[in-house]
Amino acid sequence: MPAKDLETIVSLAKRRGFVFPAAEIYGGFANTYDYGPLGVELKRNIREAWWKSMVRDRDDVVGIDAALITNPRVWVASGHVSNFNDPLVDCKKCQMRWRLDHIEEGQYGEVKRNAAGDVTCPNDGGELTEPRQFNMMFKTQVGTVADEASIAYLPPETAQGIFPNFENVVASMRRKLPFGIAQSRVSFRNEITPGKFIFRTLEFEQMEMEYFCQPPADRNNPVEYLALHQEWINTRLAWYRDTIGIDASRLRIRDHEKAELSHYSAGTADVEYLFPWGWGELEGIAARTDFDLTAHGNASGHPLTYFDEDTKQHVVPWVIEPAAGLTRTLAVAMLEAYNEELDEKGETRVVLKFKPAIAPIKVAVLPLSKNEALRPAARRVYEMVRSTYMAQYDETQSIGRRYRRQDEIGTPLCITVDFQTVGEDGTPGDDAVTIRERDSQVQVRVPISGLLEALRERLPGC
Ligand code: ATP
């Protein structure tokens, strides 16, 4: 079973070095977190798993890494300067500030209304002010003179780093339609509402891909394009299930209502997860038509088209965009992996049952005790293992406590080096070690000479 509440994960994340509140010694900073030694590994592994499935395992997708701060005209053309707004409301009683759309979506629990039918403050039921539009992009300034001409923006998504590079990628990589360009990096949004841990933060990481395909023959009935959109929805849903290990019962696809769609969109579907507080978005898969390439082509005066060798015509490709949140997925990976079990002594065993490929530490090497006689063999095993797998060496505390610690951080395998390994009282050692599996707690004896092979069998995809 996954974690019952967010607090369980927040506390484990801090205690075990996954995620810390940012600048905690200064009282923290709203909606901002730092990733600790295990969090940074988990984040990297999730990103790697995404990159592998989206780029490396495919012939039709390439990656890029565009500048964060770029020509501000990009954000004018994309519509972000004028439209990337959220409706803000304040409670007239408690002065708390909210996003009206989030209240209406039920993100703060049951939607309460007054006698006139207007939504009220989720905190105390107070009357809310009229909504006012608030642009969520962070502004900064380039150069030493602060004037209109020096304004630049921190990117609120990664996609707009991809579109302006369309032609460069086509030309340099000799791409034929359909093909995709993927990018994973940090994005920034001036989020003003309480963030629910790393679900919603000011600074977060995204994993996005723009998949360019032939424009449809009939704009109003783009049958093949919509079928391709559906294919990407299925592919992305399967990734959360099979790669991140989310139970299918806590995943669903939600199609956006007509009213939610941007005017140019031919459809958007979200992959949603059943969070402890209800369903919430993990990824949006948007059918963006030719909106972005056309907008950037028009605004820059440099048409972004593709030359179709068959028809000898320039066309503006249509786009499908699977846009995922890396840091939000990390929160879900932790919620979902969390398990509490009773051991044989009736004590609670906390286990993060990560898929091996995303587990921060793959193997822990644990000498049975701190005894000097065990250390050389244990260190030798550790050196051997860590050349291939992210490994940890730990000889403090009792072996039982060290197993518990590794369970709690989700390490799939522990290797124990004991007196049988090194020999005792004149008897020669067997040069073998014990592998203990995290989930079954089954222990098997393996010769050190065959250890890497035994690990390989037990750590698929690592
Ligand atoms: P939401 O409705 O939750 O604000 P969105 O629809 O604005 O999300 P998109 O613009 O589609 O989000 O971004 C794609 C993904 O990026 C989201 O599905 C989410 O996983 C992630 N994401 C967006 N905003 C944030 C944030 N402030 N903090 C963490 N992750 C975010």
What does each of the 462 residues of the chain score in pLDDT, given as a tens digit?
788 899 999 999 999 999 999 999 999 999 999 999 999 999 999 999 999 999 999 999 999 999 999 999 999 999 999 989 888 999 999 988 888 988 888 888 888 899 989 999 998 999 999 998 989 999 999 988 877 789 999 999 999 999 999 999 999 999 999 999 999 999 999 998 777 999 999 999 999 999 999 999 999 999 999 999 999 999 999 999 999 999 999 999 999 998 888 888 899 999 999 999 999 999 999 999 999 999 999 999 999 999 999 999 999 999 999 999 999 999 999 999 999 999 888 899 999 999 999 999 999 999 999 999 999 999 999 999 999 999 999 999 999 999 999 999 999 999 999 999 999 988 899 999 999 999 999 999 999 999 999 999 999 989
Q: Ligand 1 atom 28: the closest Cα is on which residue? A: 200
Q: At what angle do helices 326-337 and 37-51 cross, to 10 degrees?
A: 110
| Beta carbons of 37 and 392 less than 8 angstroms apart | no
From the CA of 281, give the closest atom in ligand 1: 18
Residue with tokens 């969070």: 275
Q: Ligand 1 atom 10: the closest Cα is on which residue? A: 157
11 CA distance to ligand 1 middle (Å): 24
Cα–Cα dist 206/195, whole Å: 17
From the CA of 206, give the closest atom in ligand 1: 16
| Beta carbons of 141 and 154 less than 8 angstroms apart | no
Cα–Cα dist 40/360, whole Å: 8
283 CA distance to ligand 1 middle (Å): 7
Reference 96, options 119, 123, 118, 130; nearest CA is 123
302 CA distance to ligand 1 middle (Å): 30
| Beta carbons of 200 and 187 less than 8 angstroms apart | no
Cα–Cα dist 178/167, whole Å: 14
Residue with tokens 């593709």: 306
**pLDDT in the model for residue 101:** 87
48 CA distance to ligand 1 middle (Å): 20
Domains of the chain: 6-69+141-333 (3.30.930.10), 85-135 (no CATH), 361-458 (3.40.50.800)
> Own/partner pairs for 166-169, CB < 8 Å, 24+ apart?
166/212, 166/293, 166/296, 166/304, 167/302, 167/304, 169/62, 169/64
From the CA of 329, give the closest atom in ligand 1: 20
Three-state secondary-structure class, residue 88: strand
Q: What spatial distance separates the first Cα and last Cα of the chain, rounded to whole Å?
A: 24
Tally: H helices and E strands in the chain:
14, 25
**pLDDT in the model for residue 106:** 82
Q: Ligand 1 atom 9: the closest Cα is on which residue? A: 284
| Beta carbons of 414 and 436 less than 8 angstroms apart | yes
**pLDDT in the model for residue 144:** 82
Cα–Cα dist 320/289, whole Å: 7
Residue with tokens 């079954």: 440
**pLDDT in the model for residue 193:** 77
From the CA of 202, give the closest atom in ligand 1: 27
Half-sphere exposure (Cβ direction) of 301: Cα atoms closer than 13 Å: 0
**pLDDT in the model for residue 353:** 98
- Residues in contact with ligand 1 by the CB-under-6-Å rule are 157, 189, 191, 200-201, 204, 206, 281-284, 323-325, 327-328
Cα–Cα dist 239/49, whole Å: 9
From the CA of 200, give the closest atom in ligand 1: 28
Cα–Cα dist 32/53, whole Å: 29
How much is the pTM? Answer: 0.94
State which amino acid sits at residue 66.
A
Cα–Cα dist 302/279, whole Å: 42
- Distances 253 to 1, 232, 233, 394 between C-alpha atoms, Å: 21, 12, 8, 43
**pLDDT in the model for residue 321:** 98
325 CA distance to ligand 1 middle (Å): 6
Reference 416, options 397, 430, 435; nearest CA is 435
In sequence order, which ranges of 359-450 are alpha helices (DSSP H)?
Answer: 375-386, 399-409, 419-422
Sign of the C-alpha dihedral, residues 180, 184, 190, 194?
Answer: positive
